[in-house]
Structure 1
Amino acid sequence: MKRPNWENTTLLSINSSTKIKEEGPFVVFNETHIMPKNVPYTQSEKAQLQYAVGIASIISTFPFSMLYTKFGARFVFLSAGILSTISTALLPFAASKGMIAFTFIRLLQGFAYGANFAAIGFVCHRWATLQQHGFFLACMTTFTSLSVTLTNPVAAFVIHALVSPILFGFWLFLYTDHPDTHPCVSQREKDQILSGKTEAEIGISGFMPYRAILSNKTVLIVWLNSFADIVTAVFLITYLPTYVSKVLRYGVRETGIWSAVPALLHIPVKIGSGWLADNMR
């Protein structure tokens, strides 16, 4: 990760006698140091940028969960998507303005990212049959691995900013909070989705039994497994590019490709595990 101090500098003209070379952290013109190269972020700055996303996502998970329970997921998740799109598009500009602006945008990204986890639970609760919860969860939690696989080999921030409005437009157009209100779902499909569910599971109420959830041993074990899965995935996604680039000394293109491979392999394993969980009960 580099800090683009001089990204807007334009060299208007260089005659044939001009000598250009790199010397340490500087670009040298005719033996005169006139401009620094892109200076790497310090380790503490990198950590700050990573922590900003993690802390903001933890904080935002609870309010998003309450908003989903009260208003449904369609427009709440759309608002998070708009925030994510705008903050991602502004990220290169914020990076050029310094650490304060950069960290603020990363906080916004983390806040929007926190909407994902509650949305996954809400959508599975509404749309998955009781026999397919594992498969639904597996497919919906591949978003991190899939996004890295698709965007790491190319300009990740640019691609995310360009594609996100299209994807969230599809979300608004295709998703409803209940199968009964979706025009493309047949009565047979509705019956399959709702089969075996109680009125409390079908309806949306504003009450969430947080005390019972936090004291349930099964929930705590699921959280522990999720924690291990997310930490492993985030660790690889965050630090594998650095290892491939700095230790193995691959170029930018090769680093993007090889860093996406573990995330790609993670997807079929997760989906297969979800299918097995549904069929081994």
Structure 2
Amino acid sequence: MDNQVPPRKVPNFCSIRYGIALFLLLCNVIIMSQRVCMSLTMITMVNSTEPRGLSNTSTKEPQDNIKNPVYNWSTEIQGIMLSSIFYGILISQIPAGYLSGIYSLKKMVGSALFLSSLFTLLIPLAAEFGEALVIICRVIQGLFQGIALTTQQVVWIKWAPPLEQVRLTSLSLSGLLLGPCVVLLITGFICDSLGWPMVFYIFGACGCALSLLWFVLFYEDPKDHPCISKSEKEYITSALTQQVSSSAPSLPIKAMLKSPPLWVISLCNFAFFWANSFLSLYTPMFINSKFHINVKENGLLSSLPHLFAWIFAILAGHMSDVFLSRNILSLLTIRKLFTLLGLLLPALFSLCLLYLSSSFHGTMIFLILANATGSFCMGGILINVLDIAPRYYGFLKGFTNVIGLTGGLVASTVTGMILSQDQDSPWLKIFFMMVANNVISLIFYLIFAKAEIQDWAKETQNTYL
């Protein structure tokens, strides 16, 4: 882009590229709804979510069996069910990234969303045949969700001008934060009025409908879209042609594995996903164990932390851009500051939740703050890879995501085991593990983090990324 006049910019809103971003936002809301809804329906699906439940005497309750069947699943099995979706997501990350460069994005994203929705529809039926089939459905569901989440980001290679890539990507991915808020807000009402199986039917049907719309409305190249304006098409294509496209550079694997900045980013991703997954999946159970309220009220309360997490993420992105554009802080200071806020504040508010929340309002305030402040990482570790190795961003983002998702998987599984085996103070142990992960990772990050391009990632020739 050097020594060239930038193309004339066209309005952001009422444009096809922002329409695609909003459509993907909606798809991500549905994907997260399908992933998270079981954390609340679990309260009505089983006869106890308490550690070593005392009422596990029958397989199903006699009343309303058809509409709202209840199963005799231990808290350990519940933890495996909630975490099993991460196995599929984890497995699909790297293959999906590779295949996205070979096959049609339209078919990959649309098919993955449809199949994830199909297995969501099958979960109530699978539950009738036993917990093993539910776990299998969740793993397969996660496999297709991983494909959809990974391949959709490749859409912006052809649709996003370089100066708008971060904005469009963050807009579409913000649905991952908004999704849990939406699902927890309405799942309680659905369970209360229609029965928990309808939760899976509704979100599964919505996903199938969106996938069909994707096949109809999405075009992989702006040049082929029948509804795009001439000015927007020229703006996108002229901006992208100023980038020099070449074959992907070979990966300096040895140098990457020896890079302390990359490893501390990965370590912090592990801690962030651990905390985020635990708080996303187990907030309804924690609220139920503390207050023993009905599922409708639980859903309303459980949605609040996610709503504030979405707001804090938008705030973090705006603040980070302001600090950088006005030269208030250096890039490295910004990354360290937002990582500090995103890992330390949830740890502090979790401790407050354990020791200072004697009332209902106190518990909810600290629970909301512990969940929401983690979103500050959006301006820190979650984009730090782009600073140190923009040339290998796609590969390294997948690598750090795999490590992060491993943290989420371990967190969910370990939490279920602790709830199953500890009768006295399970939540104390669970929150302390999260705090320890955050603090230890943060210390290493503050020592070894970098924000400049590393020697092994510098371009020796003019290549695209």
Counterparts of 1:116-131 in structure 2, within 5 Å, are 116-131=148-163
Q: Which is richer in strand? A: 1
CA separation in 2, counterparts of 1:126 and 1:49?
38
8 Å CA contact retained: 1:134, 1:274:
no
More deviation in 234-243 or 175-184? 175-184
How far off is 1:259 after superposition?
1.0
Aligned residues: 254
For residues 4 and 47 of structure 1, do their structure 2 counterparts lie closer, same or farther at Cα, with a shift above 3 Å needed? closer
Structure 1 counterpart of 2:205, from 156, 162, 176: 162
Query: Are residues 1:215 and 2:260 paired?
Result: no
SS in 2 for 1:176: coil
Instruction: Indicate if the aligned counterparts of 1:240 and 1:259 stay in contact, CA closer than 8 A.
Output: yes
Give 1:229 deviation, angstroms.
4.6
Structure 1 position 134 matched with structure 2 position 179: no
TM-score (norm 1): 0.76
Secondary structure, counterpart of 2:162 in structure 1: coil
CA distance in 2, matches of 1:128, 1:213: 32
CA distance in 2, matches of 1:162, 1:172: 16
Q: Is residue 2:243 matched to residue 1:198?
A: yes
Corresponding letter in the other structure for 2:125: F
Alpha-carbon distance in structure 2 between the residues aligned to 1:160 and 1:213? 44
1:77 matched to 2:109: yes
Distance of 1:169 and 1:193 partners within structure 2:
26
Q: What's the CA shift for 1:245?
A: 1.4
RMSD of aligned Cα (Å): 3.3
Instruction: Report the equivalent of 2:457.
Output: none
Residue 222 of structure 1 deviates from its aligned partner by: 6.1
Structure 1 CA distance, aligned partners of 2:227 and 2:61?
Answer: 64
Distance 1:123 1:116, change over 3 A: same
The answer for the alignment partner of 1:251 in structure 2 is 294
Q: Which has the higher contact order (CA 8 A, sep 6+)?
A: 2
Question: Residues of 1 paired with 2:138 and 2:80: CA distance?
Answer: 10
Letter paired with 1:117: L
1:106–1:81 distance in 2 versus 1, CA, 3 Å:
same
SS in structure 1 of the partner of residue 163 of structure 2 = coil
After superposition, residues 9-20 of structure 1 pair within 5 angstroms as none
Alignment partner of 1:260 is 2:291: no
Structure 1 position 89, deviation (Å): 0.1
1:269 aligned residue: 312
Percent identical: 21
Q: Give, in angstroms, the shift of residue 53 of structure 1.
A: 1.1
Structure 1: any 5+ residue segments left out of the alignment?
7-22, 30-36
CA distance in 2 between counterparts of 1:110 and 1:188 reads: 39
What's the TM-score once normalised by structure 2's chain length?
0.48
Q: Is the 8 A contact 2:56 2:72 kept in 1?
A: no
- Distance of aligned partners of 1:4 and 1:148 in 2 relative to their CA distance in 1, 3 Å threshold: closer
Runs of 4+ aligned structure 1 residues displaced above 4 Å come to 2-6, 26-29, 207-214, 216-229, 275-279
Matched residue, 2:28: none
Name the CA distance, whole Å, in 1 between partners of 2:296 and 2:43.
16
Q: Is the CA contact (8 Å cut-off) linking 1:3 and 1:39 kept in structure 2?
A: no
Structure-1 separation of matches of 2:298 and 2:44: 19
1:59 to 55, 75, 91: 91
Report the equivalent of 1:186: 229
Q: Which residue of 1 aligns with 2:183?
A: 151
Structure 1, 270-279 or 38-47: larger mean CA deviation = 270-279
The separation in 2 between residues aligned to 1:262 and 1:159, in whole angstroms, is 23
Deviations for 1:148-190, whole angstroms, at most 9, x for unmatched residues?
2222222432221121122112222222222222222223223
- Which residue does the alignment assign to 2:30? none
Q: Is 1:173 aligned to 2:216, yes or no? A: yes
Give 1:241 deviation, angstroms. 0.5
Q: CA deviation at 1:87?
A: 0.3
**Change in 2 beyond 3 A, CA 1:211/1:185:** farther
Mapped contact 1:85–1:165 kept (Cα < 8 A): yes
Q: Using the alignment, how far apart are the partners of 2:268 and 2:166 within structure 1?
A: 14
Amino acid in the other structure paired with 1:133: Q
CA distance in 1, matches of 2:254, 2:300: 41
Distance 1:54 1:231 in 2: 12
Pair 1:224–1:124, CA change in 2 (3 A): farther
Distance verdict in 2 for CA 1:73–1:259, change over 3 Å: same
> Aligned ranges for residues 219-230 of structure 1 at < 5 Å?
227-230=270-273
| Residue equivalent to 2:285 | 242
Aligned to 2:363: none
CA displacement, residues 64-92 of structure 1 (integer Å, 9 cap, x when unaligned): 11221111311011111121011000011
Which residue type is aligned with residue 217 of structure 2? L
Per-residue deviation, 1:271: 3.0
CA distance in 2 between partners of 1:213 and 1:277 (Å): 32
Equivalents in 1 of 2:254, 2:121: separation in Å? 37
1:45 CA displacement: 0.9
